[in-house]
């Protein structure tokens, strides 16, 4: 267990060692146990987390606010459009000033080509840890929650097969950050990772290479498929979700039109039956029901989406308690 994490930024799990990530899981399990038993754990009494949102949120805002309250602190909600951030506050000013007012600074900024760079600029100016609530490249807390959900059912996940797959959605062109964080973290833990997507929906090349390198070190595998059904075959965990084709076109309408060619990429009962009998269905939520996934799958016995959503709370509390 690592005990020198105070003040550390978490922008991507790639910048934390495997021992440090194991520490997050260990602390998250302990905090989950304490909450289940009703044991107080005000580890961050009188501390304040600034939460800066450039993008709408349900689970992220609710879980960070609840987590800070359970840790004895306070979460300060800041919405960019209704503050001077919309009228000229720079990333350096936000890092310097909010870093002096608060004990931690969490940011959700998913604009393509902007979000990650903004978070890193804030972090460079901040004297307190910056936590990535999602950017255009990474969603580390979602991936950590997914990993905790997996190890609760597969205590040693090495050798298990996870299919991280694109699926069609009609709501909006979603960021690449969830699949990218998934392939990075799951390869760190020795899973056999399949990335399944149509050719237009590829991920960023530098992160693909990092996933290959992770797999080589951890002893798992990383492969890329373009056949939706093939990705499900004999998988232990299936994670079909939508993302935009930002690397093929910057135009969101064109991206939506390309996605519409693959309307049949829906997680349904037939596809789930191709996986192992006890395969776990995961999704970061919200899912486009009836489009991205059928009700029978997301509400069925293989689905762990609500455990997964709950685990956002516990991993976030663990990271806040360790870094703040």
Residue 105 CA: distances (Å) to CA of 30, 71, 269 = 24, 16, 42
**Confidence label for 184 from pLDDT (cuts 50, 70 and 90):** very high
Report whether pLDDT(61) > 90: yes
Rg (CA), the chain: 19
> How many domains does the chain contain in total?
2
**Confidence label for 254 from pLDDT (cuts 50, 70 and 90):** very high
| Residues 51, 179 share a domain | no
pLDDT in the model for residue 271: 98
Report whether pLDDT(250) > 90: no
| Residues 200, 128 share a domain | no
Assign residue 285 a region: left if phi > 0, alpha if psi is -120 to 50, beta otherwise? left
Query: What value does the mean pLDDT take over residues 284-296?
Result: 97
Whether 116 maps to a domain, the answer reads yes
| Residues 103, 78 share a domain | yes
Percent of the chain with pLDDT over 70: 100
pLDDT for 199-216, tens place per residue?
999 999 999 999 999 999
Contact yes or no for 25/151 (Cβ under 8 A):
yes
| Residues 134, 281 share a domain | no
pLDDT in the model for residue 32: 98
Percent of the chain with pLDDT over 90: 95
How far apart, in whole angstroms, are the C-alpha atoms of residue 67 and residue 214?
A: 31
Whether 8 maps to a domain, the answer reads no
Query: What value does the mean pLDDT take over residues 144-157?
Result: 97
pLDDT for 261-287, tens place per residue?
999 999 999 999 999 999 999 999 999
Contact yes or no for 219/190 (Cβ under 8 A):
yes
Whether 287 maps to a domain, the answer reads yes
Range of the domain at 125: 13-139+312-323
Report whether pLDDT(299) > 90: yes
**Confidence label for 39 from pLDDT (cuts 50, 70 and 90):** very high
| Residues 173, 29 share a domain | no
| Residues 291, 191 share a domain | yes
Q: How many helices (H) and strands (E) does the chain have?
A: 12, 9
| Residues 319, 200 share a domain | no
Query: What value does the mean pLDDT take over residues 315-319?
Result: 98
Whether 203 maps to a domain, the answer reads yes
Report whether pLDDT(56) > 90: no
Whether 36 maps to a domain, the answer reads yes
Query: What value does the mean pLDDT take over residues 284-298?
Result: 97
How far apart, in whole angstroms, are the C-alpha atoms of residue 154 and residue 130?
A: 31
| Residues 222, 173 share a domain | yes
| Residues 81, 95 share a domain | yes
pLDDT in the model for residue 47: 98
Report whether pLDDT(87) > 90: no
Q: Whole-model pTM above 0.85?
A: yes
How far apart, in whole angstroms, are the C-alpha atoms of residue 182 and residue 186?
A: 6
Whether 133 maps to a domain, the answer reads yes
**Confidence label for 82 from pLDDT (cuts 50, 70 and 90):** confident
Token reading at 270? 């037939």
pLDDT in the model for residue 86: 85
CA atoms within 13 A on the CB side of 150: 28
| Residues 267, 205 share a domain | yes
| Three-class secondary structure assignment of 133-152 | EEECCCCHHHHHHHHHHHHH
| Residues 293, 247 share a domain | yes
Query: What value does the mean pLDDT take over residues 255-264?
Result: 96
pLDDT in the model for residue 321: 98
pLDDT in the model for residue 126: 98
Whether 7 maps to a domain, the answer reads no
Domain holding 236: CATH number? 3.40.50.1370
Query: What value does the mean pLDDT take over residues 134-141?
Result: 98
Q: What average pLDDT is seen over the chain?
A: 97
Whether 71 maps to a domain, the answer reads yes
| Residues 21, 80 share a domain | yes
Residue 160 CA: distances (Å) to CA of 175, 221, 320 = 26, 10, 29
pLDDT in the model for residue 83: 86
Query: What value does the mean pLDDT take over residues 92-117?
Result: 97
Place of tokens 């690592």: 2
**Confidence label for 149 from pLDDT (cuts 50, 70 and 90):** very high
pLDDT for 3-23, tens place per residue?
999 999 999 999 999 999 999
How far apart, in whole angstroms, are the C-alpha atoms of residue 72 and residue 60?
A: 18
Contact yes or no for 44/128 (Cβ under 8 A):
no
Residue 214 CA: distances (Å) to CA of 48, 158, 211, 219 = 35, 13, 5, 8
**DSSP for residue 279:** P
Report whether pLDDT(53) > 90: yes
């Amino acid at each position: 267990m690592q005990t020198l994490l105070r003040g550390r930024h978490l922008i991507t799990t790639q910048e934390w060692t495997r021992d440090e990530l194991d520490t997050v899981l260990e602390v998250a399990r302990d905090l989950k146990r304490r909450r289940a038993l009703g044991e107080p754990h005000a580890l961050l009494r009188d501390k304040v987390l600034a939460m800066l949102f450039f993008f709408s949120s349900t689970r992220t805002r609710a879980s960070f606010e609840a987590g800070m309250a359970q840790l004895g602190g306070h979460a300060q909600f800041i919405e960019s459009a209704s503050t001077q951030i919309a009228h000229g506050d720079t990333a350096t000013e936000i890092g310097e000033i909010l870093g002096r007012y608060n004990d931690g600074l969490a940011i959700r900024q998913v604009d393509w080509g902007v979000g990650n760079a903004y978070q890193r600029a804030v972090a460079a100016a901040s004297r307190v840890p910056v936590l990535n609530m999602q950017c255009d490249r990474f969603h580390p807390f979602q991936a950590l929650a997914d990993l905790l959900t997996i190890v609760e059912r597969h205590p040693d996940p090495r050798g298990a097969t996870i299919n991280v797959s694109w699926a069609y959605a009609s709501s909006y062109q979603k960021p690449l950050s969830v699949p990218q964080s998934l392939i990075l973290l799951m390869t760190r833990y020795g899973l056999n990772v399949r990335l399944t997507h149509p050719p237009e929906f590829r991920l960023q090349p530098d992160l693909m290479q990092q996933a290959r390198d992770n797999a080589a070190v951890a002893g798992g595998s990383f492969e890329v498929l373009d056949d939706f059904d093939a990705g499900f075959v004999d998988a232990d965990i299936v994670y079909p979700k939508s993302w935009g084709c930002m690397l093929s076109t910057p135009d969101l309408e064109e991206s939506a039109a390309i996605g519409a060619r693959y309307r049949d990429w829906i997680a349904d009962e037939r596809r789930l039956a191709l996986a192992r009998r006890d395969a776990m269905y995961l999704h970061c939520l919200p899912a486009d029901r009836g489009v991205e996934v059928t009700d029978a799958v997301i509400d069925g016995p293989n689905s762990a989406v609500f455990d997964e959503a709950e685990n956002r709370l516990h991993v976030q509390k663990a990271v806040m308690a360790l870094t703040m």
